[in-house]
Amino acid sequence: MLSRPKTSASPSTPVESSVEHAKSLQKRHVFCSRSSSACVEGPRKRCYARHFPGTRHTRGRVAHSTEQTAESLWSAISGRLREVLSETSYDTWLAHAEPRSLADRGLIVAVPNEFTRDWIESHFRGFVSAAAREASGRDRVSVSFVVGDRALPAPTEPPPRSSGEGRPRESELESPDSPELGLNEKYTFDTFIIGSSNRFAHAAALAVAEAPAQAYNPLFIYGSTGLGKTHLLQAIGHYVRQHSRRLTRRYVTSETFMNDFIDSLRDKRIEGFKRRYRNYDVLLIDDIQFFEGKERIQEEFFHTFNSLYEGGAQIIISSDRPPREIATLEERLRSRFEWGLLTDIQPPDLETRIAILRKKVNTERIAVTDPEILTFIAGRVASNIRELEGALTRVVAFSSLTDRVMTVELAEHVLKDVFPQGDAAPEVTIPRIQELISERFGVTLEELVSPRRSQSVAYPRQVAMYLSRELTDSSLPKIGREFGGRDHTTVMHANSKITRLIREDRSVYNLVQELTARIKQAR
């Protein structure tokens, strides 16, 4: 720690001394850079704000204050958070936070709802604590997030992130630009089109990329082929590569992992295989469903997973289905996959499909004079992004090779045999939702629409009403009529209740995600 500078006259108290010194610094136009450790004074040698109890940091200069207010402290903390978090993360989760009070127990900050509070505590606690230490100049300062004006106990400090001690140098594994990383330069967060079908998966992937092993670990992303799982995994790899270069990372497919393992057994290099895969800071493994039925591979990956997890490494996995639906997957692996966050990607809606095609047109500089062409293609291909982009490529190629102007009629002619009109996704119906809920919960269709109010019937009915509201265009009165002639206020109550449970109970969230996926896949 820097020693206190000598002064020609010693004030009567330490506080007066610090305040007077702060005033002298202000007169000399001393400015503070982004953090106290980088702050400079005069000839760019040191910052005094953290060493004098009567001074504090602001975003531009060292200031003096004998009493820090909740507003000024939170302003300094939030300013630092803006610098270390992405703009999207800050605006989504912290922009609406408001300071409430500052006392011996620490700073109390109000957020709009419980979901926001829990997200901040789970994902940004380490960042908030570090920013609070810098803003206050104290080694420990408590920041508690509450909903509205309610006070909650101060949260405990999370364990510190692994420093990576004991891990090999990056050069011992792969250089940052090594082709062995297997990353496609096109698969980044910037090129990922966000829609209602993938918004949560994108947010989870970005959170993991920004704070490996601090947000969700493991992160398990599942969904049908061609919906963007590989894109998100590789986007994480690119982000870590650019923003956390000290971390070693590897993206592999399950096939590559299996082939490496088999080769190591054949060549008697199993120890080298273990050293290689168990010493990354971030491991991304794609299409893990192909481990299904391969006991020896599952055994090795189980130990690899444990070694990485216990060593503080981040693990990201993708699959075409959730862990519980992967037949012959060992229970011990299944349980580990479910330790962190499971999130799915659904087929994109029409608006997202159009946005994907526009992105491709702009990126590849394709001349499309009539925007209705993109709308037509997006309406014809509904379930797979690869097929969607392939359809556009087919139309563009046909137009170029035959020297014909690209029109909706031309697109219809080119795609009629490949993507018949009948392939467009049919509308989700309330009877289909009721049928699936009946099957999932073991209740009859008659019970769902009956007056019965027992929990075993009321809860499935409320879930069915919620899904009907979310997945169909039906009005509240129409939904009520489909469920035994109930009033629209009953549907509103069911929708509010399930929405609240989704925010508060992870099992309900997973249930609704599973049912939504099954409904859309069965269309």
Q: Is residue 141 part of a domain?
A: yes
Q: Is residue 388 part of a domain?
A: yes
What's the pLDDT score for residue 419? 61
> Rounded to 5 degrees, what are φ and ψ at 34?
-65, -30
Residues 205 and 329 in one domain: yes
Mean pLDDT (whole number) for 365-390:
82
What's the pLDDT score for residue 465? 93
pLDDT in tens, 80-102: 888 877 777 788 788 889 998 88
CB 221 within 8 A of CB 232: yes
What's the pLDDT score for residue 171? 34
What is the 3 state secondary structure string of 160-174? CCCCCCCCCCHHHHC
Mean pLDDT (whole number) for 182-205:
88
- What residues have CB less than 8 Å from 333, skipping those under 6 apart? 291, 298, 301, 302, 305, 323
Question: Which of 97, 77, 82, 95 lies closest to 36 in space, CA to CA?
Answer: 77
| Lowest-confidence region among 154-168, 237-251, 320-334 | 154-168
CB 25 within 8 A of CB 56: no
Residues 200 and 330 in one domain: yes
Q: Is residue 4 part of a domain?
A: no
Mean pLDDT (whole number) for 52-70:
46
Q: What is the spatial distance between Cα 134 and Cα 78, in angstroms, rounded to a whole number?
A: 11
Q: How far is CA 124 from CA 15, 100, 207, 487, 510, in A?
A: 33, 19, 9, 42, 23
Q: What is the spatial distance between Cα 359 and Cα 194, in angstroms, rounded to a whole number?
A: 12
Mean pLDDT (whole number) for 143-169:
48
**Chosen domain end from 312, 344, 376:** 344
| Lowest-confidence region among 255-259, 370-374, 435-439, 503-507 | 503-507
Inform me whether the pLDDT recorded for 175 exceeds 60: no
Q: Is 11 left (phi over 0), alpha (psi -120 to 50) or beta?
A: beta
Residues 380 and 236 in one domain: no
Residues 243 and 317 in one domain: yes
Residues 318 and 244 in one domain: yes
Q: Is residue 170 part of a domain?
A: no
Mean pLDDT (whole number) for 216-223:
91
| 488-504 helix and 114-123 helix, angle to the nearest 10 degrees | 20
Which CATH number fits the domain that encloses residue 225?
3.40.50.300
What's the pLDDT score for residue 181? 54
- What DSSP element (H or E) covers 98? strand 98-103
Any idea what the Cα angle at residue 133 is, between residues 127 and 136, rounded to 5°? 130
Residues 116 and 220 in one domain: no
Inform me whether the pLDDT recorded for 423 exceeds 50: no
Residues 121 and 237 in one domain: no
Residues 336 and 388 in one domain: no
DSSP letter string, 161-223? PP--TTSPPHHHH--TT-GGG---TT-SSTTPPP-TTTHHHHHHHHHHHHSTTTS-SSEEEE-
> pLDDT tier at 3 (50, 70, 90 boundaries)?
very low
Question: Comparing 121 with 255, which gets the higher pLDDT?
Answer: 255
Residues 195 and 311 in one domain: yes
- Outline where DSSP puts E strands in 382-438: none
What's the pLDDT score for residue 203? 92
> pLDDT tier at 294 (50, 70, 90 boundaries)?
confident
- Domain range spanning residue 44? 14-64
pLDDT in tens, 259-288: 889 888 888 888 888 888 988 899 999 998
Q: What is the spatial distance between Cα 338 and Cα 324, in angstroms, rounded to a whole number?
A: 9
What's the pLDDT score for residue 67? 56
Torsion, CA 345, CA 351, CA 354, CA 360, rounded to 10: -50
> pLDDT tier at 293 (50, 70, 90 boundaries)?
confident
Q: Is residue 43 part of a domain?
A: yes
Mean pLDDT (whole number) for 156-185:
44
pLDDT in tens, 12-56: 443 344 334 434 433 333 333 333 333 333 333 333 333 333 334
Please give the tally of structural domains in the chain: 5
**Chosen domain end from 344, 377, 398:** 344
CB 473 within 8 A of CB 429: no
Mean pLDDT (whole number) for 330-349:
87
Which CATH number fits the domain that encloses residue 473?
1.10.1750.10
Q: Is 314 left (phi over 0), alpha (psi -120 to 50) or beta?
A: beta
Which CATH number fits the domain that encloses residue 373?
1.10.8.60
What's the pLDDT score for residue 315? 94
Q: Is residue 171 part of a domain?
A: no
> pLDDT tier at 174 (50, 70, 90 boundaries)?
very low
Residues 93 and 133 in one domain: yes
Residues 313 and 199 in one domain: yes
> pLDDT tier at 427 (50, 70, 90 boundaries)?
low
Q: What is the spatial distance between Cα 348 and Cα 330, in angstroms, rounded to a whole number?
A: 32
- Strand 143-147 and strand 106-111: the pairing is parallel
Tell me how long the chain is: 523
Q: Is residue 317 part of a domain?
A: yes
Q: Is residue 325 part of a domain?
A: yes
Residues 393 and 270 in one domain: no
Inform me whether the pLDDT recorded for 396 exceeds 60: yes
Which CATH number fits the domain that encloses residue 118?
3.30.300.180
- What residues have CB less than 8 Å from 459, skipping those under 6 apart? 441
Q: What is the spatial distance between Cα 203 and Cα 218, in angstroms, rounded to a whole number?
A: 15
> pLDDT tier at 462 (50, 70, 90 boundaries)?
very high
The proportion of the chain whose per-residue pLDDT surpasses 90, expressed as a percent, equals 17
Question: Which of 481, 439, 438 lies closest to 461 in space, CA to CA?
Answer: 438
Q: What is the spatial distance between Cα 77 and Cα 133, in angstroms, rounded to a whole number?
A: 9
Mean per-residue pLDDT of the chain: 76
